[in-house]
Amino acid sequence: MKNHRLTPPQTLFNLLEQMYPDAHCELNFTNPFQLLIATILSAQATDRKVNQITDRMFQKYKTPQEFLQLTQAELETEIKEIGLFRNKAKNILATCRILVENHQGEVPNTFEALTELPGVGRKTANVVLSNAFGIPALAVDTHVLRVSNRLGLAVGKNPDLVEEQLKALIPPEKWSLAHHLLIWHGRRMCYAKHPQCQLCPLLSYCQDAQTANSKPQ
């Protein structure tokens, strides 16, 4: 098992902050409802594609009430360029119905209430809490999972367990920033395939790189 305490976590995050001083959520939104919808759409899709869809769609439909004026087939047409669009359309309409009926059309700001919404799992709830409400949360997506394991910040493939490990290493006020820094590094350098290791300022601290270098040739 990797020893994820060999390098102080703050050393890694200080370097990541220097590398990505503008790290932020790359989904476009102006309020919690827009972020909720965008994050539901983002499952197995790129933020760029989601933004292309929502930039157009949010000009026409701005509230849960307005979304509920659509049939599922009509909403599917709006988002058909994205993967899993039928299931996402179904979940979005069901979520909008719950927001209207149970939350006066507003997005709730608790983890428990968010995860009761169709299409909203732990990752989506944490994204909304962190970015829409400024509540300490640390969402673990595929980039965070991959990069945190490679750097030795966490061990394992279970997102919930990796979230627990990262939260134990990072103060709550830094959870959101850590999430963005790990994502930006995963999208810009630490790719799933062919990571740019030789260009990476974290190379000398990287657990994966040290393990690879220690193997007999």
The catalytic residue positions are 123, 141
Q: Is 66 helix (H, G, I), strand (E, B) or coil?
A: helix
The single-letter code of the amino acid at 189 is M
- What does the buried/exposed string (b/e) look like for 68-88 if buried means 16 or more CB atoms within 10 Å of the residue's CB? bebeeeebbebbeebeebeeb
Give the orientation angle of helix 175-188 with respect to helix 159-169, to 10 degrees. Answer: 120
Q: Are 131 and 176 in contact (CB under 8 A)?
A: yes
Close Cβ partners of 127 (under 8 Å, ≥ 6 residues apart): 25, 35, 39, 137, 139
Candidates 26, 24, 76; CA nearest to 55 is: 26
Both structure tokens of 18:
């220097």
Per the document, the length of the chain is 217
- What does the buried/exposed string (b/e) look like for 119-129 if buried means 16 or more CB atoms within 10 Å of the residue's CB? bbebbbbbbbb
